[in-house]
Structure 1
Amino acid sequence: MRKNALALVSVLVLSCGIAATGALAAEPRILSLTGTGRVVAEPDMATLTAGVVSEADTARAALSDNTARMTAVIDAFKQAGIPAKDLQTANFSVQPRYFHERTDTGTKPPRIVGYTVQNQVVVTVRDLSVLGAVLDKSVDVGANTISGPVFDIADKGTATDEARRQASADALHKAELYAEALGVTLGPIQSISEMDVSVPRPMLMRTAAVPMAAEAAVPIEGGEIDLTAQVNITWTLADQ
């Protein structure tokens, strides 16, 4: 009886070993490569932030000045053809200004000497041909802080899809090259994974509290925008 049990255990161990060996042998050979695609496009829109900073002895006086000037700035954008949907208030604040007086015996407690009011609006400009004039006009009517513009593409979908096609073609080209060099044959695709889609932006043009000449439009250069895509594709190698 004991001999029969030992024989049965031996058969089971042998069977498991054969099954494991078979599973190991059935493990497919694969080739995994990454492809990159790049599309260069010209921007067709820009975003900038314009604002007014006002200072006065009282919060009410600072607010009144800021409100009047900021209203003029927003009206100027609208008159330039910027629709209301492309104007959005981004930051509004009322802050006291402190004076820290030092004496021979130390520093006195800070005291309020005035107030600063800041209001900013984010503007989306969809016609770049008027961007310089829009910046000029905003300063003419009272804006004294401007940051941007940040250039962008309104419809990135088409350009991004082209970058994806290029990335796929790049991965396939590499796979065919390696297969030929190594004497193997590509089989069916086992997996496809998108690794990255990025849109680096050009450097911002910044202007802050700087007067501009009314007779000359601000020079604007949109440059180019690179859209890149990366994809990882894994092929099963066909049996020879």
Structure 2
Amino acid sequence: MQEWYMPMQRNQPTAQTITVTGQGTVTAKPDTVIITLGVRTEHTNVQEALAENAKRANDMIRALKTIEVNEEDIDTASFSIYPKYNYSNGTATLTGYEVEHIFDITVKDTKKVGNIYDTAIASGANIARQIQFRLANEQPYYQQALMLAVKNAKEKAITIARTLGLPMHDMPLQIKEESVAPPFPRAPYSATTLAESSTATPIQTQDIIIKATVQAVFSY
């Protein structure tokens, strides 16, 4: 959060002021996608569940490398082992184990997302959690949104001054940058459960919305 103050002359009488909030919004196409997917296996024996999960996860990683997904762009998001019970007449009986290995895959070419899904499914992935659309560098877009926010604040102040017949000064006495919210897609992308299919997976990228807000004080 930043504040900018405009210099005032000494002995200048206290000015009457108009305080307004300006907002600016910029829409951008994402250039980075983070896919969260993984492998879930079940077996009555925990070692068998682990072994099968490891095999399918390694097969998936090897397959992704063949379509030029770098190993450093494949990160483990979580790894879990869950015991499974059967409940009958108030008694819990252990029936097996579920192993889940979830990965975050960073994709720097949004056109490859569908192919990455297809490859992952065909080689072992059977669950997906979410898709995150991002910008590698959102600062240029935020600066543009900030500029629009300042212009919006000035336009609001001018409208108020003209409506009331006040001789407003164009240069603000103070501008305060409000807290910044992170960029976000237009709408959330729902999580899905994957099943093997020969049909290509259509993934439509979503626009990223970048917002900036300022509070400005003008004198009249």
Answer yes or no: is the 8 Å Cα contact 1:193–1:231 preserved in 2.
yes
Higher relative contact order (CA 8 A, sep 6+): 2
Deviation, 1:148, is 2.1
Q: State the identity as a percent.
A: 26
**What are the superposed Cα offsets for residues 73-108 of structure 1, whole Å, 9 maximum, x if unpaired?**
122222222222322101111121111122xxxx23
Residue 212 of structure 1 is matched in structure 2 by 196
Residue 33 of structure 1 is matched in structure 2 by 20
Cα distance in 1 between the residues matched to 2:82 and 2:166: 73
Matches within 5 A, 1:158-177: 158-177=140-159
Answer yes or no: is the 8 Å Cα contact 2:83–2:98 preserved in 1.
yes
Identify unmatched segments of 5+ residues in structure 2: 1-11
Q: Does 2:72 correspond to 1:85?
A: yes
Which SS does the other structure have where 2:125 is aligned?
coil
Matches within 5 A, 1:151-162: 151-162=133-144
Deviation, 1:226, is 1.5
The runs of 4+ residues in structure 1 deviating greater than 3 Å are: none
Cα distance in 2 between the residues matched to 1:234 and 1:203: 36
Q: Does 2:50 correspond to 1:63?
A: yes
Number of aligned residue pairs: give it: 206
**TM-score relative to the length of structure 1:** 0.80
Q: What is the root-mean-square deviation of aligned Cα atoms in Å?
A: 1.8
Letter in 2 for 1:82: V
Cα distance in 1 between the residues matched to 2:157 and 2:144: 20
**TM-score relative to the length of structure 2:** 0.86
Q: Which has the larger radius of gyration?
A: 1
Cα distance in 1 between the residues matched to 2:201 and 2:28: 23
Answer yes or no: is the 8 Å Cα contact 1:164–1:229 preserved in 2.
yes
Identify unmatched segments of 5+ residues in structure 1: 1-24
